[in-house]
Amino acid sequence: MSNGNTVVHRSNWPWRVAASVAAATVVLGGCSSESGGKAAGPSSSAPSKSAAASGSPSAAASTSSPGGDASPGTPFKADPAKVPGTKSRAKALAAAVALKPQGWGAGFRAQQQAVSTPGTVALLDEQCRWERRALPKGVLGSLSRYSEIPAAGGKGELKVSAAVTVHTTVREADEQLATTLEEPLRCRQQQVRTDEWISGLISNATPYGQGNNTYSDDQVVEMGKYLTGKHEQTYYWYVTRLGTVTLAVSVKGAKGYSDGELIKYASNATATMLSRVESELGGDN
């Protein structure tokens, strides 16, 4: 791939991500709470059965090799020498890729808690509560950054997050996508903080080559309702994989913001971080 083609490819990403997610949203809108597959079980080194059922190419393509060994069904082949193999390199990659407030666009600022606790990753426990735990086996590094647009001009406070997790192998990264796809079946209501919940969750997977996904190895989209007290708004969560790196973008809706605006923010954020991963890890493709 020449540099010129790369520019063209990346310039189309926000549209393609938005189109892919728009299609997934239509599918999600018609899903029942029982659709999709079995509830998530413990993570293992074997490919997830639910990933295979979802049509994910990762179930067939995943190996224990580092992310430089891309399968035929992938849009990107990393330079093996650039793929992080240590925690320090994974930390540097996550810091370079995860969006800061200005990366989201005009009007964004850091939330009061701007970044996640170092050396931790967000996990959903057995009681359907999100909490940060020490990095598990198979994860070299993870970083989340939290941004917002303050309430003003009749609009509510819009909150977003951007997370990057670097895994030891493609298989481990694929396991995160499989688990993400299954979690709404196990926990249709999830506690984010003491007074914050996500409810009515449904999910859909779009592997590389399906729909409009020409930009990532796999992507899972979740949608539901974000609850604070008696207030309810639309919630979107995109989890996207490119090699050993997974990207997670969440957008918590607010008064005055349309679903189209929320999707645009999430799509642009995902496209920007994908571009950064390619820039950080790419060879002379």
Q: What is the pLDDT of residue 230?
A: 79
Residues of the chain with pLDDT under 70: 1-72, 283-285
Length of the chain: 285
DSSP annotation of 169? S
Q: What is the pLDDT of residue 8?
A: 34
CA distances from 72 to 58, 75, 77, 263, 279 (A): 11, 9, 10, 30, 21
CB 242 within 8 A of CB 277: yes
Q: From CA 20, how far away is CA 51, in angstroms rounded?
A: 18
Report, in angstroms and rounded to the nearest whole number, the Rg of the chain calculated over CA atoms. Answer: 18
Q: Which pTM does this prediction carry?
A: 0.80
Longest dimension (CA), the chain: 52
Q: From CA 268, how far away is CA 285, in angstroms rounded?
A: 23
Q: What is the pLDDT of residue 229?
A: 81
